[in-house]
Amino acid sequence: MVEVQTQVSLAEHTTLHIGGSAAEFVSVDTEGDLISALNCSIPILILGAGSNLLIADTGFAGRVIHIQTSGINLIDNQLNVAAGENWDEFVLWAVDNGFGFFAPLTGIPGTVGATPIQNVGAYGTEVSELIESVTVFDRLTKEKLILNNNQCRFGYRNSLFKQEPERFVVLQVQFKPVKVEQIEVKYEELAKKIGVNVSDLVDARRVLAAVREIRASKGMLLDPTDSDTYSVGSFFLNPRVSEDIKTELPSEVPAWQQQDGSWKISAAWLIANSGFVPGYRVGDASISSKHMLALCNRGKATAKEIMQLAQEVRSAVKSRFDIELEFEPTIL
């Protein structure tokens, strides 16, 4: 029997520290309790660490299920991790135990169960490259399923689970248990930080340390002493454009060609060249002083202020470059 609390403030359960109250709030630490908590007649919001979520000032008129399941197990040549495990703590464990491919994904806040939903990525690595399968509960058929990598329909910050949020609830993630001590450096900024060339092989622990230093310099590591820390990380996705549109942009715009021939454009550069500066504010909502993609809560920001700032940035980029930025977090 799960315990149901009422009128619980959600601000303290998100990294933005913004949001009203939940009509109902349930914390679960077993899969059985999670599945039981899903049995209700009001809207449901699945909550992990709240690191990619902007909740309305009016809150959520439904049941919030806070997943706190735990467990990291290497069974039958498969690395099984519970959805409620802290992602960054798991990455530190993985690299320390020889699973070096996880190193570029250090410092990302959130839970393990949230990573396949967003297909999180950083410094040339996406979590989908490391996933074997995902165990989910299908709310439509009321059964547990194991979906292989292809069935998860991974894309750039996208997946089946993001496309059908009302249907699938992530229970566990099965990662490829590939042990390596050295990994390829795929990202120029990271290569410069380490002092190597792109494509060089580097000890995974060295990569992990360098990534954490870069993220800290951008206010992208959770740190209560840092005024930029209360955010959802990158609020805007790097847009992907065609070759024709890319040729119309200034030659100095940072761009990376993708396998399908499209180009990924730096959203941070577009914002900085649309009239915005670090620290630009709307009330207590601001652009980070360290990273143009992050929108921060300077103390008492509201969801309304964050959205006003986000829309202002998006409108300016659209007016200047005719590119419409997409928001990365889930907005309720």
Taking the CA of residue 258 as centre, how many other CA atoms within 13 Å lie in the half-sphere pointing to its CB?
14
For 96-129, the three-class secondary structure string (H helix, E strand, C coil) is: HCCEHHHHHHCCCCCEHHHHHHHCCEECCEEHHH
Dist CA 329 CA 50 (whole Å) = 10
Q: Which residues are catalytic?
A: 157, 234, 328
CA distance 307 to 282: 10
What is the distance between the alpha carbons of residues 161 and 144, in angstroms, rounded to a whole number? 14
> Whose CA is closest to 192, among 170, 210, 169, 216?
210
Return d(Cα 130, Cα 82) in angstroms, integer. 15
219: left (phi over 0), alpha (psi -120 to 50) or beta: left
Q: Which of 83, 65, 67 is nearest to 26 (CA)?
A: 65
Query: Burial of 4 by CB count in 10 Å (0-12 exposed, 13-18 middle, 19+ buried)?
Result: middle
Cβ atoms of 165 and 137 within 8 Å: the answer is no
For 155, residues 6+ apart whose C-beta sits below 8 A from its C-beta are 119
Rounded to whole angstroms, what are the CA distances from 308 to 163, 204, 285, 303, 313? 25, 41, 9, 9, 9
- In angstroms, the CA 69 to CA 260 distance is 38
